[in-house]
Structure 1
Amino acid sequence: MLTNVLTALKSSNICHITLQTGTKHYMGPIFDAALSNQLIPHAPPFREDYPRLPFPNFYFALEDLVASHARTFTYSIHRSSIIIGASSRSVHNSMLTLSVYATICKHEGLPFRYFGNRYTWEHFCDMSDARVLAEQHIWVAVTDTAKNQAFNCTNGDVFAWKSFWKALCSVFDLEFVEYDEEQRNLVFAETMIAS
């Protein structure tokens, strides 16, 4: 799909393309059960010049494809983390989703279980404010010296989900439940669908 879009844009007046990816660029296939035990944790912060990991990653293919069209227009790659921020038109607001999940668990008397995997539960994570990310996209598009590069965009504060989960439990007056490998795949989806 991206090839078709980039090819069509060659005959337009488009000067700059931005590609939004994320920090899985540095972590590898964290949701692939067959590979997740081989992941190499990084100490924060991630650096844009880290070498690519030896795992399949769709982001690499997208970046290479955009870079291959650099003769036609400039580009930038924006690697955000989990995006948060108020938006009436976005269903990808992680904090809103977690708040709804916590509210449902409280109302239904269900345990508020973490739905990720052990790697994400134990290792550091960070978030990206949607407003900061938008400002970065604009800045790169209008700054000549920032063209044809990749940029990380996070708020700079790091946390572990196991610690953050305790804070969420406190805010929503829920009992803290430790990570459970057996429950992770079905709890979240079943809770959201059933409610």
Structure 2
Amino acid sequence: MTGKVAVILGGTGMVGANMAQLLDREGDWDVTIVSRRAPEFRTQARHVTCDMSDPEDCRRQLGTLGKTTHIFWTGHATGTRWVDKVAQDTDLFRNAMTAIEAATPELRHVCLLQGSKYYGRHLGPFKTPAKESDARHFPPNFYYTQEDFLKELAQGKRWSWSLMRPHIVCGYARSDINVPKPLAVYATLCRKLGLPLRFPGPEAAFRAVHCASDVELLNKGMLWAATTPGCANQAFNMVNGDHFRWQHLWPRIADYFGLKDGGVQQIDLEAMMADKAPLWDEIVREHGLVPTPFAEAANWSFANYAFAPTWDIMLDNTKARRFGFQEFVDSEEMFFRIFDSFREQRFIPR
């Protein structure tokens, strides 16, 4: 044991996976990943199989993690409507935290991952730039119920907590909830069909202001908040630190994939991609790519959601900088770096 013992709850998604790998690189952490399925990435962390929707399974599996000093929550329910997720995600968090907190007398910190929907970005235009002190929107929102439970659980305890709020997390992992992934697949299909790259969202979304969170920056911020005493019991927006408009970035993305910029042509990606599996399979064979079923190649429902907002989305990073976190990422550079990684992984052709 190193004295720093981390448990990553829901650790097989993109944020959890990258968190485990960051702690691997740090070298002085003892790490356990908790999830229903085993990790499909390289890590030195142990894995505990647990169905966090089952309180009894949580007590059996998580009650053994008595040396835990830091908990990172990166899990979420999948395949449900936002309104349904309130109860489901709250139960997942409550079940896991109730079991592990009762068994961990050495606990020092709990980091809860939230997001820009905390400010109502999914409902329509909201106050921008959003600050951590902004009022909540009209409920329901599972970020609120999870946060309220966490604060209640922490009362009278020696451990502290932090709340991290990214927006559109982007990374190398071929995760479902990762904007560069459907964008890369969409561009690859356009090239195969000899079509220009057209922005599939509304014209207003093309021109609105957006921001993003590089997963590596997010993980660094989570680790910083979890291990910096001055960050105890604070919320932090955790975005790259810049903003962009698709209208200016889109021509560069088209050029990267060897395509002409086609401007805006709003389409329902989920509907339009329904018959493209044979075409994708042909591309995989033609370029010797790692075989990836088209159903797993991209989440088109998420892509529709990501490209839809016609209002500005801006999160203020000032508080994190004021507390000492000085990391930043150029969002345009981030997209091309991730596309490069997809090529190196042979997920998409060069």
- TM class by smaller structure: 0.7 to 0.9
Structure 2 vs 1, CA of residues 178 and 190 (structure 1 numbering), >3 Å: closer, same or farther? farther
Deviation larger for 149-158 or 96-105: 96-105
Please say which of residues 127-136 and 65-74 is displaced more in the overlay: 65-74
Q: In structure 2, what residue type is equivalent to 1:67?
A: K
Q: Distance in 2 between matches of 1:126 and 1:50?
A: 18
Task: Give the distance between the partners of 2:205 and 2:143, measured in 1 at CA.
Answer: 19
Q: CA deviation at 1:111?
A: 5.2
Q: Is the 8 A contact 1:15 1:74 kept in 2?
A: yes
Q: State the alpha-carbon separation in 1 of the partners of residues 182 and 170 from structure 2.
A: 10
In the aligned structure 1, how far is the partner of 2:139 from the partner of 2:248? 29
Question: CA separation in 2, counterparts of 1:117 and 1:19?
Answer: 33
CA contact (8 A) 2:197 2:262 kept: yes
Report deviation, 1:164: 2.3
Partner of 2:165: 79
Secondary structure of 1:68 counterpart: helix
**Which residue of structure 2 lines up, in the alignment, with residue 145 of structure 1?**
230
TM-score (norm 2): 0.46
Q: Does 1:176 align with 2:267?
A: no
Name the structure 1 match of 2:296. none
Q: Which is worse superposed, 77-86 or 168-177?
A: 168-177
How far, CA to CA, are the matches of 1:149 and 1:157 in structure 2?
A: 22
Query: Could you report, residue by residue, the CA deviation over 1:162-188 in whole angstroms, capped at 9, with x for unpaired residues?
Result: 33223212222323334444x235356
Native 8 Å contact 2:167 2:212 kept in 1: yes
Amino acid at match of 2:223: I
Instruction: Report the counterpart of residue 62 of structure 1 in structure 2.
Output: 146
Q: Which amino acid aligns with 1:10?
A: E
User: Aligned to 1:75, what secondary structure does the other structure show?
Assistant: strand
Query: What is the identity, as a one-letter code, of the residue corresponding to 2:253?
Result: L
Instruction: Name the residue aligned to 1:46.
Output: 130
1:101/1:192 contact within 8 Å kept = no
Quick one: distance in 1 between partners of 2:274 and 2:126?
A: 30
Cα distance per residue 1:62-121 (max 9 Å; x no partner): 22222222224422111111222334x745443244223211221133453434456643
**Counterpart-to-counterpart distance in 1, 2:144 and 2:204:** 22
Could you tell me which runs of 5 or more consecutive residues in structure 1 were left unpaired when the two chains were aligned.
31-38
| Corresponding position: 1:22 with 2:120 | no
Q: For residues 202 and 99 of structure 2, what CA distance do their matches in structure 1 show?
A: 40
Residue 250 of structure 2 corresponds to which residue in structure 1? 165
User: 5+ residue gaps in structure 2?
Assistant: 1-91, 281-350
Code of the aligned partner of 1:11: A
Q: CA deviation at 1:159?
A: 0.8
Identity over aligned residues, as a percent?
Answer: 30
SS at match of 1:5: helix
What is the CA–CA distance in structure 2 between the aligned matches of 1:133 and 1:116, rounded to whole Å? 26
Letter in 2 for 1:2: F
Number of paired residues? 184
Alignment RMSD: 2.8
User: C-alpha displacement at 1:189, in angstroms?
Assistant: 4.2
Q: Please tell me the residue identity of whatever aligns with 1:3.
A: R
Structure 1 residues 60, 15: closer, same or farther in 2, change over 3 A? same
CA contact (8 A) 2:115 2:165 kept: yes
Q: Deviations over 1:145-172 (max 9, x none)?
A: 2112110111111012233223212222
Tell me if 1:12 matches 2:103.
Answer: yes
Distance 1:12 1:184, change over 3 A: same
Residue 46 of structure 1 aligns with an amino acid whose one-letter code is A
